[in-house]
Structure formats: structure tokens, C-alpha cells
Amino acid sequence: MKFSSWFKGIRLPRPPMAAPPVEMPAPEKVFLPLRQHRGAVAEPRVEPGQAVKMGQVVGASEEFESATVHATVSGKVEAIKQVSDPAGQLVPTVVIASDGADAWAAELAELEAPFNSAAAVTQTRPSRLLKRLRESGLVRAAVQGRPLHVELSPPMAPQSYLYMTGIPVMRPLDTLIIKAVDNDPPVSPNLACLSLAGMQLEMGVAALARISGARRVILALPAGADSSGLLALARANQWEAVAVSQTHYPYTLDNLLVLRLTGREVPSPYGEPRDVGVVVEPLITALDVGQVLASGRPVLERLFSVSGQVNKPQTFRVRLGTPIGQVLQAAGGPSKAGKIIVGGPMMGLAQYDPHAPVTRETEGVFVQAPASVQHFTDQPCIHCGRCVSVCPVNLVPSDLGKLCEFQHFEAAAEKDLLSCIECGCCAYVCPSRRPMVHYLRHGKSEVLARRMES
């Protein structure tokens, strides 16, 4: 059976060709949350009034699922206070006032010598590479992304569905997928990186494959885009290259992409690609890994895409901790935005505070003018079935939405509520403008909370 013959989803306009990233000047003040990933909050390693340099550790934790936080400018620590992050949560945050010097910390010179080729990476022990990635504080470039050393390490315990007759079954990682496609166009930082194929990318992919143990590397390239540089790199390294359409949403989400490219179905609802022997990493994450190995320094910037109703849609190279509002100004954003969506129009989160900082989890924002904002209603379901026809995981969103709306959460869970991937296709096609994703997210959080209490 061909993938296109059963895949549902919706058709979205083709994202515009992204120009190469533009360097954005460092801000006068950065806000560095001590949690920029899914996991434990780091503990501050500096105090107010202390002078810091670029690359200096300002937050760290002994917890395994935590990432080190580094100063992204040189200057003085102004405060350590609670600041709202892009997800709307208050997180302890180190505020640094820049001195404009951009001086690097002296201790970085004492680190191990950087790598100079992909061949050197492949001859290095995986444990040494993993240690360097952990010290650099790399996080998978995604909302609620894991620290990269956690992402590439074997699971601490296999999932319950992998048990057979009481024996845990753990499948080794054998395939690495590098995603040069974006989950939620037109927020497209990966698309803007297509022209950056070079030694750093080659080293990054080599390190990811070496650490994970994957012997098969697949490049998922955007169909119709100029990927000549990546194709040449793939031929030189014997990687597979597959063109993937970005107009058929949510074609490019990790679990669906794994099924499309490998034929392996990720178990639902709690499964992840590495449960079937696959690790999926965005192109910008592979570039970050290569930069860390080639320079010996932590990555202090994020590729951040600004799209929607702004004067100059662009992907910027932004210092971590820069307020999102300043990036919007650089893109010629409207003086009064109707809605700022962090992450993209389909799966992103509406942002109420433009002073929230750019973090390792953010990929970009989508801006809507007031007249373009779509408003949901409290109208009842009219049983048209459109949501059923587009649900990519074959649920019945209309029934689930009603059950969650009237607080029948366990009944919704019995109808596979937890398998929902929150792609937003049901809300996109609903003629009654029901807030389907809001209902389903609320229902999932209630089911999980009640099960933890019992």
C-alpha cells in the first residue's frame, strides 16, 4: 500500500523558499531560563552582581535529564528571578546585562582540542562524544525537546508494551533520520539551513550516528527546494536521501515520518521513534553538534524563524535569551499584533508576553494581524465528520471533543484520547469553529493527573 493512499491530514500552502539566516546583533540584556528543555531545572551557578563571560556556566544540575546553561553575552548578572518562558511558565532565570565586549570565558581554552574532520569523529569513543555534548548543554531543537545526551542514550527502562513473557525487549538504534523538513511551516528554520551543508554538518551527522550506533542515515529533504549541497554530501557519505512534501500536513511529524521512511510503526500512545530502533534529529540540531565539535565551544545562538504578517519574514541567528519582541522588531513586525504564535500556526502556542526569551526549544514565531485572527466558538458539534476524515491517527475527534467538553475524561481515554498528536487538523476543518485541540489537551492533562493520583 502506498503511503499517500491511506494518509489523511490536510493540504497547506507550500512554504516560501527561505533565505539564508541573518545574524542578529546581541541584545543589551539577555534572559536565560534555567530550564530550556523537558526535564529538571538547573541550579544557578552565579550570583547577582557577578561578572560573567560568554560560554561561562550560569546554571547546571546533577540530574541526568537536565542541560547546562551558558552565558550568551559577557557582562554582569543583573538578577536571578522568575520570568515567563515561551510556554507561559514561570522559570528561574538569570538576567545578564551585556557590556558589549562579547569576551569568551578563559576556561573554554582548557577544553579538549576541537575535531577537524568527520573521520576523526567516527574514530572517537561514543562516550567521549556524548560527554562533550552534555557539557555543551545541547538540546534537541523542538518544543519540549530533550537534552541531546538524553535523546541519544538508551532508555533507562523499556516501555511496558515491549515486554514479552516478562522479558524486557530493547531494540538497538540502527537508523538515524536527519530532518531537513519543518513540522509546522511557514516557520521553517530547517529550510533556511539547506545552504549550510559543509564540514560541520558532516561532523554533526557522523557524531549522531557514532553515538547512537546507527549504521543507516536517511536525509529527509523538502521536495521542490534546492538541496544540491545536501545531496552532494549524502552521495559522498553514502547516506540515503528522500524528498518529503511539506504541503501535506502533518506528514513531517517524527512518528509519521518514521513510518513513511522505514515502514516501522511507533507504538501509541507513549511510544517514541527509538522504541523501534530509530533516532530522529532536525537538521539544525546536527549543525549545532558539528559546531560544538569543530569549535570546542557551546552553541550560544538559535536559528529562529519569523513568518506571517511581518514586513520582512526571515530566519535569524539569535543569541539565546533575546526577548522575542526584539526579534519581531528586526523583522519589521506590526506595532500591534493580533496573535504571536511560538512554534507555528498549527501546533504552536499563543504567546501573551513578547518579553519572553528565545530559548533552545523555540524554532520561531508566526505573527497574525488582528483582522486575521480566527476566533473559536461554543457552538455544538454538527456531526459533519470532517474531523474524522482528516485525523492522521484515525481517531474520532468529534466524539473525543464532546467527552472532554463535558468532563467524561476516562470515557475519552477508552476511545484512545491519549493517542492524539495535537496536530490541529480537526480544529482547522471544523465548520462550527470548535476549539478541538483545547478540549483534547485539557482532557489528556486531566486523565494523566488523575491516574498519577490513583
> Each residue of 321-364: pLDDT tens digit?
999 999 999 998 776 778 999 988 999 888 888 889 999 989 99
CA trace torsion 102, 356, 82, 350 (10° rounding) = -160
Alpha helices, H only, 116-157: 118-122, 126-136, 148-152
Within a domain: residue 1?
A: no
d(CA 368, CA 424): 17
For the stretch 13-22, pLDDT in tens is 877 776 789 9
366 and 413 belong to one structural domain:
no
Cβ(415)–Cβ(396) below 8 Å: yes
Residue 436 has pLDDT above 50, yes or no: yes
One domain for residues 354 and 312: yes
Tell me, yes or no, whether 7 lies in a domain.
no
Do the domain assignments include residue 12? no
Identify whether residues 271 and 122 lie together within a single domain: yes
Does any domain span residue 196? yes
Range of the domain at 125: 117-155+172-295
pLDDT band at 155 (very low <50, low <70, confident <90, very high): low
Residues 127 and 188 reside in one and the same domain:
yes
61-101: per-residue pLDDT in tens? 989 889 999 999 999 999 999 999 888 889 999 999 999 99
Regarding whether 395 and 248 lie in a shared domain, the answer is no
Packing angle of the helix pair 436-453, 397-405 (nearest 10 deg): 60
Here the CATH number for the domain that contains residue 245 is: 3.40.50.11540
Quick: pLDDT tens for 33-65.
999 988 899 999 999 999 999 999 999 998 988
Q: Are residues 237 and 148 in the same domain?
A: yes
Mean pLDDT for all residues in the chain:
88
Does 166 reside within a domain? no
Residue 188 lies in a domain: yes
Q: What is the pLDDT of residue 1?
A: 30
Query: Is 80 exceeded by the pLDDT of residue 238?
Result: yes
Question: Is the same domain home to 287 and 308?
Answer: no
**Same structural domain for residues 180 and 286?**
yes
My answer on whether 68 and 135 are in the same domain is: no
pTM of the model: 0.91
Residue 257 lies in a domain: yes
252-301, pLDDT tens digit by residue? 999 999 999 999 998 888 888 988 889 999 999 999 999 999 988 999 99
Query: CA-to-CA distance for 165 and 282, rounded, in angstroms?
Result: 36
pLDDT of 154: 61
Q: Is residue 10 part of a domain?
A: no
**Are 79 and 146 in contact, with CB atoms under 8 Å apart?**
no
Q: Which residue bears the cell 541526568?
A: 64
Residue 219 shares a structural domain with residue 282: yes
Number of domains the chain contains: 4
Considering the domain architecture, whether residues 224 and 144 belong to the same structural domain is answered as: yes
